[in-house]
């Protein structure tokens, strides 16, 4: 799981705003990290909202011009979108799953193949975390406070304990925290 959060713990602001995650300014080290994360090797898992947001940007000429390495990776990687309401998943290399989220992820984890990575998709993160199906968490804390929004683990009904495995600070003020259950 990879997600950016604010200093006060929100992964999205009011009305789903995520612009704060791109406001930290240029940082060559951060850009290299992001490009490395987008270099492939994983199946991307999304909920409907995050999928529609990503699909509206990454296949565009603007994304190719602004972030060519990331755009290329995002468009090439296999993707699975979990939704009970979405009728079509037309972004390249995307499979739509309308059934049981946890059962499908359990099946995917048992099958041979690439690792999986969840980007955004807070409701999926909360459900899979509570089901014990996320092995590794990458959280990027951004140097901004919103005061309100959505927390990443909204809906979790019991405490989940984690162990810090690494941390890394970037010049733009972002801090990567990596955890395991």
Distance from C-alpha of 69 to C-alpha of 49, rounded to nearest angstrom: 24
pTM of the model: 0.89
How many structural domains comprise the chain? 1
Mention every residue, 6+ apart, whose C-beta is less than 8 A from residue 31.
Answer: none
Enclosing domain of residue 12: 2-180
Per-residue CA distances from 110 to 54, 94, 107, 113 (Å): 27, 20, 5, 9
Per-residue CA distances from 91 to 59, 75, 100, 118 (Å): 8, 8, 22, 16
pLDDT tens digits for range 59-94? 999 999 998 988 998 999 999 999 999 999 999 999
For position 12, which CATH number holds? 3.40.430.10
pLDDT tens digits for range 134-168? 999 999 999 999 999 999 999 899 999 999 999 99
Mention every residue, 6+ apart, whose C-beta is less than 8 A from residue 62.
Answer: none
């Amino acid at each position: 799981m990879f997600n950016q959060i604010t200093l006060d713990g929100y992964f999205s602001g009011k009305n789903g705003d995520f612009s704060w995650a791109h406001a930290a300014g240029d940082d060559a080290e951060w850009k290299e990290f992001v490009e490395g994360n987008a270099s492939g090797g994983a199946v991307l898992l999304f909920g409907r909202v995050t999928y529609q947001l990503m699909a509206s940007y990454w296949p565009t000429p603007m994304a190719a011009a602004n972030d060519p390495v990331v755009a290329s990776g995002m468009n090439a990687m296999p993707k699975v979108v979990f939704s009970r309401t979405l009728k079509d998943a037309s972004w390249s290399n995307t499979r739509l799953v309308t059934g049981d989220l946890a059962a499908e992820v359990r099946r995917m984890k048992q099958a041979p193949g690439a690792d999986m990575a969840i980007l955004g998709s807070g409701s999926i993160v909360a459900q899979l975390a509570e089901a014990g199906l996320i092995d590794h968490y990458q959280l990027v804390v951004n140097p901004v406070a919103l005061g309100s929004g959505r927390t990443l683990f909204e809906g979790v009904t019991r405490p989940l304990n984690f162990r810090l495995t690494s941390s890394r600070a970037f010049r733009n003020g972002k801090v990567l925290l990596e955890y395991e259950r």
